[in-house]
Structure 1
Amino acid sequence: MTKRHVSLPAEAEEGLAAFLEQVDERLSGEEDTCEVVRDTLVDLFGDRDAYERWQAGGDVTPAERVRLQGYDPCNATLESEYYAEKDEEKFKRSKHLQWLWRQFDATPMADNIEFALRFRGMLAGHLFAEAGENLRLFKGISFTYGHNIEIGDNTVIHDDVHLDDRGKLTIGDRVSISDSAHIYSHDHDIVDQTAIENFHTIVEDDARVTFDSMIRAGVKVGENSVVGAKSVVQGDVPAHHVAVGSPARSVKVKPGWETVAEPVADKLENRAAERRVEFELPDDLDDFDEFDRDLTPPDVEAPEAED
């Protein structure tokens, strides 16, 4: 093992523990989540005096007002808020917690590793569908909702990883996901990009997804396998295999695992259809194409417009 044990000075540890306990207790209680998030961000950004002055009716500039309002997630919108098929009840809370996660990463404290890992680990317990023990969640991790993510124990996710849980995303125990990897659980129709399908994407125990790679929706990355840097994985990676390239293919079995691994195949098998996540859209949905395009191919007669 090439890691060292690192700890904060006693006084810093005391302050960190008190802060984590306070936020954890408030998020676990009956308080409005918007208020908990707002208070936490106001204090983390050192804006308590300005916020109380504004609340007391004091003069603030338009820019100050926007900044102070922005600590409250009820005054914010996220891209995933526009997705028609989302679970509205779950999203009400996950939006607020996701806002806290993202804004925390914009504070100087996000670079204090011991502080930040423990804060995100605590927050993951409130946000994710399942959050295991001893998670190491680094800076800049983004996700669609958060509430469709399951992560096991002792997993590490490095900087700037995108975890798309528009469908469902399951990550096992002792998984390592390197910087800038993207793992998707939804896909767009090749003709009409506004038409989407959701899938269950799985990264099994002890797998490694390395730097800047992409896992397509509905893929399963098998137990103890490795996805090489900058690979694009469009089919299932068998357990104990090493997959590289774009599109990725298995190039070998990890040394020592040959007797229990499947033979190396020329092409990874895409089984996403078996992992489709069905959803229903609300009856009163305003169905529109935000791009206002004509999708009729040139050799097909366009349908007549309805009166």
Structure 2
Amino acid sequence: MTKVHVSLPEDAEEGLRAFIDEVDGRLDSDEDTCLVVRDTLIDLFGDREAWERWQSGKPVSPATKVRLQGYDPCNATLEAEYYAEKDEEQFKRSKHLQWLWRQFDATPMADNVDFALRFRQMLANHLFEDAGDNLRIFKGVTFSYGHNISIGDNTVIHDDVHLDDRGKLTIGDRVSISDGAHIYTHSHDVVDQTEVRNYHTEIRDDARVTFDAMVNAGTVVGENAIVGARSIVQGDVPDHHVVVGAPAKSVRIKPGFEDVAEPLDAGGEKRADEREIPYTLPDDLDAFDEFGRTLGGPVKPHRSE
């Protein structure tokens, strides 16, 4: 789509740039990340006066205290915190940055597109394994950890996309991921859903994953390919192919690429096993079954897949 350049008024641009540079500099320093995130959120939510009142020993309501404490990511838990196989050291910092990302999206400033895109690019530079230039990541994008994600240059990720990175997720250059898409790098055992396997999932250069589609763990969406709206990718998508449906199947080759693309009946191979990422759990792990079953005992599934 052809677009036009948009710029903010000069005074607004100056203030936004100064704010992003300040947060970026603090995250680059040896300063405690929890404190950086806490201070940034206090100011973004306009709660500095209440914070200082509380810190000076003056009374605040229980609700105010909970709100103020919640700006500090050390006082919060995230779903991924409960994942037994995570890298604890990596997650410690990723959690703080992810908290800032999620809470920023709850502020009015998250709808100021020019500012918000640049703020998320800055956070991605600190959070992701690799973040390319000119990323455009819109509102409501979530991920498991963040530190297992690599994204190339000039890629756009639209509203409410979920990027699961319990395994490893690689997204190439100039990729477009539309609203509501879900891309997975882990799966659950059919019999015992508490058993998780992690994989490497790839979305290669110039590919498009369109509205509300799902890409299953361990699959590859090939270069310049398109995944149609609400499709479910269960096997590899060849370069230049257009796939639709559940499960997704090739229905055409993009015009002009017929001579270099694989035949229309190619693709669909399920090669996740080749891309599994093994992990080990500590012997002294304090594990529990969230469904209240006895670990290690026989599990009867409610349904088969």
Q: TM-score, normalised by structure 1?
A: 0.95
Corresponding residue for 1:197? 197
* Secondary structure at the counterpart of residue 54 of structure 2: helix
| 1:239-273 Cα deviation digits (max 9, x unpaired) | 00000000100111101001000001276111111
Question: Which AA in structure 1 matches 2:46?
Answer: G
Separation of aligned partners in 2, 1:73 and 1:11: 32
Corresponding residue for 2:40? 40
Could you list the runs of 5+ residues in structure 2 that have no partner in the other structure? Answer: none
Corresponding residue for 2:111? 111
| 1:38-63 Cα deviation digits (max 9, x unpaired) | 00000000000000110111101110
Corresponding residue for 1:181? 181
Corresponding residue for 2:227? 227
Corresponding residue for 1:11? 11
Separation of aligned partners in 2, 1:288 and 1:14: 51
Separation of aligned partners in 1, 2:105 and 2:168: 24
| 1:132-154 Cα deviation digits (max 9, x unpaired) | 00000000000000000000000
Shift of 1:103: 0.1
Separation of aligned partners in 2, 1:24 and 1:266: 46
Question: Are the equivalent residues in 2 in contact too, given 1:204–1:220 (CA < 8 A)?
Answer: yes
Question: Which AA in structure 2 matches 1:256?
Answer: G
Separation of aligned partners in 1, 2:239 and 2:75: 45
Corresponding position: 1:163 with 2:163: yes
Spell out the pairing of 1:187-266 with structure 2 (5 A cutoff). Answer: 187-265=187-265
Shift of 1:295: 4.1
Identity, % of aligned positions: 73
Question: Which AA in structure 2 matches 1:251?
Answer: V
Shift of 1:282: 1.2
Question: Which AA in structure 1 matches 2:18?
Answer: A
* Secondary structure at the counterpart of residue 292 of structure 2: coil
Shift of 1:280: 1.1
Separation of aligned partners in 2, 1:291 and 1:266: 41
Separation of aligned partners in 2, 1:254 and 1:102: 37
Question: Which AA in structure 2 matches 1:134?
Answer: N
Question: Are the equivalent residues in 1 in contact too, given 2:208–2:224 (CA < 8 A)?
Answer: yes
> Where has structure 1 moved over 6 Å in runs of 4 or more?
none
Question: Are the equivalent residues in 2 in contact too, given 1:249–1:266 (CA < 8 A)?
Answer: no
Alpha-carbon spacing, 1:218–1:55, altered in 2? closer, same or farther (3 Å)? same
Corresponding position: 1:87 with 2:79: no
Question: Which AA in structure 2 matches 1:289?
Answer: D
Separation of aligned partners in 2, 1:2 and 1:175: 16
Question: Which AA in structure 2 matches 1:108?
Answer: P
* Secondary structure at the counterpart of residue 251 of structure 1: strand
| 1:192-250 Cα deviation digits (max 9, x unpaired) | 00000000000000000000000000000000000000000000000000000001001
Separation of aligned partners in 1, 2:23 and 2:290: 39
Corresponding residue for 2:147? 147
